[in-house]
Amino acid sequence: MEGKIEKIAVIGAGVMGSGLAQLFAQNGYQVGLHDITEGALGAALRRSRANLELQAELGWISSEEIETIMGRIHTSIDMADVASSADYVIEAVPEDLNLKKRVFKRLGELCPSHATLASNTSTFNVMEEVDEEQAERVLITHFFNPPQLIPLVEVVHGERTSRAAIETTLDLLNSVKKRPLLIGKYLPGFVVNRFQLAINGMAYALLQEGVLTPQEIDIAIESSISLRLAVNGPFATMDLGGLDVVAASARTMGVEPPPPLKELVDRGELGVKTGKGFYDYREKDQEEILRQRDYRLMLLLDSWRKGRES
């Protein structure tokens, strides 16, 4: 797990696998992409090319770069062909635990001893499912669809994962301009999926109450909190709105504010307007904080409106 990473293997050429292959190829890595049929591999290459063409259309890359990037992706229905010389491997097969266990067992047989073995699982604790001799180099890198675009990657390690494997992973993700979030232990659903579960749960509840249609619920989210949360996370958003307002709103909906929120309100630490809340703003200018928030939101809104008009 030491030395320079030059070759990356992606096992599984579905939507996630094709996006991962494109991501690493686009950042200069040689990529081996494996699936069990030529049809799956062909479809993966078509998806990657289509996304690169869209990037060229938007001016992110030049059209001349597309062939160079695609030329870095080698496909094979033989796992050994892509895994035997890989410095880093990402498993992206369907969410079937038995299938993942078989893949990791095979990777342990095929991969060089220095290769780090990562899983893109969004569900399973694969660190507990591997043999002792594999354990130190196994961890989770949970990318979000589409992985070539979404910045965050949840990095989850187990008690047996080596520090070298963790550092190698963080360095690799930073090299492809991702924002790795290191999670020190396995949590079912990790972090982001828990937020997604809560949002989906409320969407189902509103739908069942007959208040709104699925389209209307989507409009409500797309046109409000999705934009705000793209600029500031939940705690910063609460600080900007005023924690006293957040607490009062919760009580209006029949929810008692949780202890961390209540304690801040009781101390008079209400967010930006008092200089301290979940964050400390005492060394910052309140007007500048709001200006920066609005500037980022305006940039986002400009792209959002253009996208909806196209």
Q: What is the pLDDT of residue 309?
A: 81
Catalytic, out of 154, 167, 209, 283: 154
Burial class (CB in 10 A: 0-12, 13-18, 19+), 165: buried
Q: What is the pLDDT of residue 307?
A: 86
Low-confidence residues of the chain, pLDDT below 50?
none
Residues 6+ apart with CB under 8 A from 194: 187
Tell me the pTM. Answer: 0.91
Tens of pLDDT, residues 226-243: 999 999 999 999 999 999
Q: Is the N-terminal amide bond of 146 cis, ω within 30° of 0? A: yes
Domains, the chain:
7-183 (3.40.50.720), 223-309 (1.10.1040)
What is the predicted pLDDT for the residue at 279?
97
64 catalytic residue (yes or no): no
Place of tokens 């703003």: 281
What is the radius of gyration, based on Cα positions, of the chain? 22
Non-local CB neighbours of 165 within 8 Å, separated by 6+ positions = 1, 116, 136, 137, 138, 139, 157
Query: pLDDT by residue (tens digit) across 47-77?
Result: 999 999 999 999 999 999 999 999 999 999 9
- pLDDT on residue 306: 87
For the record, the structure tokens of 190 come out as 């990790």
Phi first, then psi: what are they for 217, rounded to 5°?
A: -65, -40
- Classify 61 as helix, strand or coil: coil
C-alpha–C-alpha distance, residues 148 and 154, integer Å: 15
Q: What confidence score (pLDDT) does residue 3 get?
A: 62
Q: Could you tell me the CA-to-CA distances from 107 to 86, 158, 174 in Å, in that order?
A: 10, 18, 25
pLDDT for the residue numbered 2: 53
